[in-house]
Amino acid sequence: MTAMIEISNAAKTFTMHLQGGVELPVVSNVSFHVEPGECVVLSGPSGAGKSSILKMIFGNYRCDTGRIDIRHQGDVIDLASAEPRQVLSVRRATIGYVSQFLRAVPRVPTLDVVAEPLVVGGTPRAEARERAGALLRRLNIPERLWRLPPSTFSGGEQQRVNIARGFVSDLPILLLDEPTASLDAANRAVVVELIGEKKRRGVAMVAIVHDDEIRHLIADRIVDVTSFAAAA
């Protein structure tokens, strides 16, 4: 396969044992692919399963059936059946994920929260901090805040820290869950720029964006998630 991500017939149902075993079908027959340098935007109303699909691609949600093939260090790994160790290796070297909310370890300074993915990937700490700082500056986080843990920041600032953390490394796949949701116009423009730079470097991206204008600016292709609606 030439694609970075190739999803075939993936399906996900939640079984809620505490609610009498209610079955909650989320998606079924999910099939699409993403090429290097391409940004695929998932569209569909709230609850259609867009975030669930991102989480399946990240290996966070388990698939009931189907395959999620990821190009990883020259091999192809099916994340739907991979061992935990393999999933972790894919996350270290291949897939980055910008979640909707920042989930940071208490007490860790913002600069280190952003630099961490680089450090984990083997970049020396000083260089990782420098790159983290450059990105924070672009995203208009004032330098006096870098030494503080982000838990005290506003929602918009936390989201920008989260974006910086997601964009700082050179991973070939990026998953973006509403990266511009709580940002002002200036910072939205920075994110659009960052996405453009990633594309030029051949990064394959899957994004969820509700803002039509942003979607128009970043999407190379739109995948309509309603077509994967699971039969209830």
Partner 1 sequence: MSEPMTASEDDQPLLIAEGLSKNYGRLAACRDVSFSLYPGEVLAIVGESGSGKSTLLQLLSAQLAPSAGRVSYRMRDGVLRDLALLGEAERRFLFRTDWGYVHQDPAQGLRMAVSAGANVGERLMAVGWNHYGRIRDTATNWLERVEIDAGRIDDAPKTYSGGMRQRLQIARNLVTEPRLVFMDEPTGGLDVSVQARLLDLMRNLVSELNLAAIVVTHDLAVARLLSHRVMVMKGGRVIETGLTDQVLDDPREPYTQLLVSSILPP
Which positions touch partner 1 (CB under 8 A)? Answer: 14-18, 55, 59-62, 69, 73, 75-78, 81-82, 84-89, 105-108, 120
Instruction: Report strand pairing: 22-34 vs 5-16.
Output: antiparallel
Q: Least distance to partner 1 from the beta carbon of 50, Å?
A: 16
Q: Least distance to partner 1 from the beta carbon of 190, Å?
A: 28
Listed in sequence order, the residues at least 6 apart from 202 whose beta carbon sits closer than 8 Å to its beta carbon are 36, 37, 172
**What torsion, rounded to 10 degrees, do the Cα atoms 106, 109, 113, 114 define?**
160
Judged by beta carbon, residue 45 or residue 106, the one nearer partner 1 is 106
Judged by beta carbon, residue 61 or residue 183, the one nearer partner 1 is 61
Tokens 């260089």 identify what position? 127
Q: Least distance to partner 1 from the beta carbon of 139, Å?
A: 24
Sign of CA dihedral 4, 117, 211, 13: positive
Q: Least distance to partner 1 from the beta carbon of 191, Å?
A: 25
Residue 47 token pair: 């609850």
Judged by beta carbon, residue 105 or residue 134, the one nearer partner 1 is 105
User: At how many degrees (to 10) do helices 155-167 and 185-200 cross?
Assistant: 10
Written as one string, the DSSP assignment of 93-131 is: HTEEEE-SS----TT--HHHHHHHHHHHTT--HHHHHHH
d(C-alpha 203, C-alpha 197), whole Å? 9
Judged by beta carbon, residue 94 or residue 180, the one nearer partner 1 is 94
Q: Least distance to partner 1 from the beta carbon of 84, Å?
A: 4
Judged by beta carbon, residue 98 or residue 217, the one nearer partner 1 is 98
